[in-house]
Amino acid sequence: MDNQYIKRVTEGDVDSFRFLVEKYQNKAFSVSFSIVHNQAEAEDVVQESFIKAYRKLSSFRGDSSFSTWFLRIVVNESIKIHRKKKLEASYSINSMAVYEPDINQSIAKLNTADQQKYITLAMKQLPTREALILQLFYIEDLSLKQMEEILELNADHIKVLLFRARKQFLAILQLELKHEIKSIL
């Protein structure tokens, strides 16, 4: 369906681009926010990404889906903003152990709003790359193949990053939920 709208836009029907904007704006915002950790900056990135996609739509070859091509633009724009602001995460968890069952029990006891709060808090503390990997895989539900195209990494590298990101995410949750864990033990 995207290809029909892309064709219309490249033939001069500017209004057809609105369909693509409406379809992908939320996903683009989520991906960008996972990198820049700032709502206003993520909104700016999404806007810039749509402008860039519109201008370069004629060069879209269709080797991958529009979604994959567009999210690659969003990721690149987000990383560019992130680098400019030098928002590198300085959170170190190398010496922490991860106790998944305790974390899972603690999270299960929380209501949905609290779960979302702790997940968001943990995601913000992750280094950008790890947060993006988890965002794409778990929240955007992308396949490894789609992630390979978006991130320009091979599947094995993505799997290693996923493993590390999960471990860091759980360690952060362990720290954040230590009071809930103590109540379970």
pLDDT in tens, 87-106: 333 333 333 334 445 555 55
The answer to whether the Cα torsion of 47, 48, 49, 52 is positive or negative is: positive
**pLDDT number for residue 95:** 30
Mean pLDDT for the chain overall: 80
Highest mean pLDDT out of 42-51, 89-98, 101-110, 120-129: 42-51
Fold of 2-85: Rna Polymerase Sigma Factor; Chain: A (1.10.1740)
The ranges of the chain annotated as CATH 1.20.140.160 are: 100-184
pTM comes to 0.61
**pLDDT number for residue 178:** 76
The ranges of the chain annotated as CATH 1.10.1740.10 are: 2-85
Is residue 15 scored above 50 in pLDDT? yes
Over residues 138-159, mean pLDDT: 86
**pLDDT number for residue 142:** 84
Angle between helices 66-85 and 39-56 (to 10 degrees): 130
Is residue 109 scored above 90 in pLDDT? no
**Could you give the CA distance from residue 23 to residue 25 in angstroms, rounded to a whole number?**
6
Fold of 100-184: Butyryl-CoA Dehydrogenase, subunit A; domain 3 (1.20.140)
